Structures are given as structure tokens and as C-alpha cells.
Amino acid sequence: MVIDSLNRPLKDLRISVTDRCNFRCPYCMPAEINGERYEFLPKSEVMTFEEITRLVGIFVGLGVTKLRLTGGEPLVRTNLVTLVGMLSSIRGVEDVAMTTNGYLLAQHAGALKDAGLHRVTVSLDSLDDAIFRRLNGRGFGVRKVLEGIQAAATAGLGPIKINAVVMKGVNDHCVVDLARWCKEQGYIARFIEYMDVGNLNHWESDQVTSVAEIVERIDAEMPLEPAEPNYPGEVAKRWRYKDGTGEIGVIASVTNPFCGDCTRARLSTDGKLFTCLFGSVGKDLLGGMRAGATDGEIADILRGTWSLRTDRYSELRASLSTTQLGEPKPKVEMFKIGG
């Protein structure tokens, strides 16, 4: 096991399999910036399935047990089922999950389960069709996402979690309806505070609907009580319904950061290691691999990078004023390293 400078082990790896997406959500890939002329990575710079599998094997040798496939939108990557099969067969991998917008999920859910995917998290910011069309930036209706979620449930890719980024004045009035629907369907709703990820979403703190407010709204309609975490370092704080019919999760990365428990590394589409979602520069692993580096040499790079890790961006943002933080540094875009 590898430990960083704040005594946090390396346990989870998030893998961005593509920087492309069929949505243009304003908090990640705004349509006005990532339009038709936007140039994504050329195929030659994207990790192959074999390169991903080799790197994952090295990560697992250093203590990683949980994998999450992200993007961009992972299901726009051709033959993703093949990669799932390759990763799930690596000895030491205990959990393979995927975060998806769900739009293409119905046609792949069964094959993904058969290949070894354990569970999915679907991003769904609103059940309201008009709001959903606005937020996905493409005018897509919500129906295909709901069909994808149902297909995932039928295939056994659960427990299914539904992620909603909550933005004040945009979809914050939808949280109770979404929570109620998830409760009735047996899914776990997870509400995420709007974060200052990347450089493109023009984030302002007054756009944040706090987790405390979200919990208060849901509790007023469907009473809640705190629940213990499932495991150390769990991202979401759990609240269960007092009537025993399910739970919600809340991710308070702005108002109540959880950097102190973070065990997650991120592998970008072009094979760079990021030790924080808000990182600026990644450690190039793919370049070294293609230049002939051995597994042992790559493991030494990983070990050295993680052992020096001091990242706690969200805690600093919460505890320091804008003046104390200084000029904001450019951050990697979320669609390049996943959420």
C-alpha cells in the first residue's frame, strides 16, 4: 500500500476512457466553448485498451482495488465492453463501476454486466424534460436516459446511483421530485454541490445550493436521519429515510470538503496521472510507457508521485479567503479526467 504525505492510501482509480461526450452540460463542457469546431484528442494520443489495462495492473500492485470508468461519456468509446472484460479479469480488482449520462446505456447494459461491470452511476440533473434538455446542451429528452437506467436495473448493475449537480436558480427546485422518484424506484439519489471544476463553467459561489439546504428540503417532505458511511473515505454523506425505504447521498465538496479522506487517483484520456480533481498538471505515464519504460519503472513513478501528494484544494478553498488563495491557477477540465 502506498501512503501520501497526509497518510491517505491509494485505493481508487478513475479512468477517463475518452474526452468526448454526446452532451454539453454547462458545468463540464459548455456548448458555447466545446462546439462543433472544438478539437478533441486525436486517436494517436488516446490510451489503447491494452495500455489502460497495463497501467491498471501496475496501480493494482500498489493497492488499488476499485476502478471507475469515466469520460467524457465512456459509452461513446467504441467497444467499451471489451475494456470492461479486460479490467475485470485483473487479479486484485474488487469493483468495476462506471459513471455515465445514461443516454446510450439501454443498448449496452446487459453486455457490460456480462463483461464484469458491477454497477453504474447515472448523471441525471432533473426529471423535468424541459430543464433536462437545457442542461444537456443538446436538446435531448430525458426518456432515453430513463430507459437506460431501467435496462441497467434489469441487468443487475446495482445498486444504481443517480447523480444530480444542483445549481441555484436552475434545477434546485427539482431535488425533492428527483429524491421521491429514486425512493420509489429503489435507486440512490446523490446530490452534488456545484463545483469550480475546470476553467470553463464561470463558477461563482452564489450559484451553489448547499447540501444543508438540499437535505432540509427533502427532509421536510420525506423525513431523513443520518446514516453511517459504508466504508472509510466514502465521498457521499449518507442519509436514510426514517420509514426505512432507502437513502440519499450528498456530496458537499464546497461547504464541507472531504479532502482528508481522499483515496482517489485519476488517469486522463491521454495517460496522465492526476492526484486531485482540481489539479493543473498531470504526470505523464503513457509517454514513458510508449518510450519503453518497464512496469517497475512506472510503479516507481506512481509511488513517488503519490507519496509526495499534498492535495487538499477544496479544504483550502473553504478555509481561506480569495485574497489568501491568490490568483486562481488553471485546472484540468473535468471531461479529461472524469468527475
- For the chain, the structural domain boundaries read 12-337
pLDDT, the chain, mean = 90
Average pLDDT over residues 180-185: 98
What's the pLDDT score for residue 329? 60
Average pLDDT over residues 204-219: 87
Q: Is the pLDDT of residue 202 over 60?
A: no
The x, y and z cell numbers of residue 295, run together, are 512496469
- Phi/psi region, residue 97 (left: phi>0; alpha: psi -120 to 50; beta: rest), is beta
Beta bridge partners, 191, equal 164, 250
- CB count within 10 Å of CB 188 equals 19
DSSP letters, 307-331, are HT----HHHHHHHS-HHHH-SPPP-
Question: Is the CB of residue 112 less than 8 Å from the CB of residue 158?
Answer: no
Instruction: Pick the closest to residue 177 from 159, 196, 157, 191 (CA basis).
Output: 191
pLDDT band at 324 (very low <50, low <70, confident <90, very high): very low
What's the pLDDT score for residue 311? 81
- Whether cis (ω within 30° of 0) applies to the bond prior to 169 is no
Output the 3-class SS for 199-250: CCCCCCHHHECCHHHHHHHHHHHCCEEECCCCCCCCCCEEEEECCCCCEEEE
Average pLDDT over residues 246-274: 88
Instruction: Pick the closest to residue 13 from 46, 47, 75, 55 (CA basis).
Output: 55
| Between residues 262 and 54, the one the model is more confident about | 54
- Phi/psi region, residue 198 (left: phi>0; alpha: psi -120 to 50; beta: rest), is left
| Between residues 232 and 225, the one the model is more confident about | 225
State the Cα–Cα distance between residues 69 and 28, nearest whole angstrom. 17
pLDDT band at 31 (very low <50, low <70, confident <90, very high): confident
Beta bridge partners, 161, equal 121, 188
Q: How would you class 217 by CB atoms within 10 Å of its CB: exposed for 0-12, middle for 13-18, buried for 19 or more? A: middle
Beta bridge partners, 226, equal 239
Model pLDDT for residues 107-142, shown as the tens digit of each residue: 999 999 999 999 999 999 999 999 999 999 999 999
What's the pLDDT score for residue 123? 97
Q: Which of 88-102, 114-128, 250-264 has the lowest mean pLDDT?
A: 250-264
| Between residues 285 and 319, the one the model is more confident about | 285
Q: What is the pTM of this model?
A: 0.90
What's the pLDDT score for residue 200? 53
What's the pLDDT score for residue 233? 72
Q: How would you class 50 by CB atoms within 10 Å of its CB: exposed for 0-12, middle for 13-18, buried for 19 or more? A: exposed
Model pLDDT for residues 277-293, shown as the tens digit of each residue: 878 789 999 999 999 99
Instruction: Pick the closest to residue 311 from 283, 271, 269 (CA basis).
Output: 283
What's the pLDDT score for residue 330? 62
State the Cα–Cα distance between residues 263 and 13, nearest whole angstrom. 9
Domain 12-337 has CATH 3.40.710.10: no
Radius of gyration of the chain (CA): 19
Edge-to-edge strands, sheet with 188-193: 224-226, 237-241, 247-251, 188-193, 161-166, 119-123, 95-100, 66-70, 12-16, 264-267, 272-274, 283-284
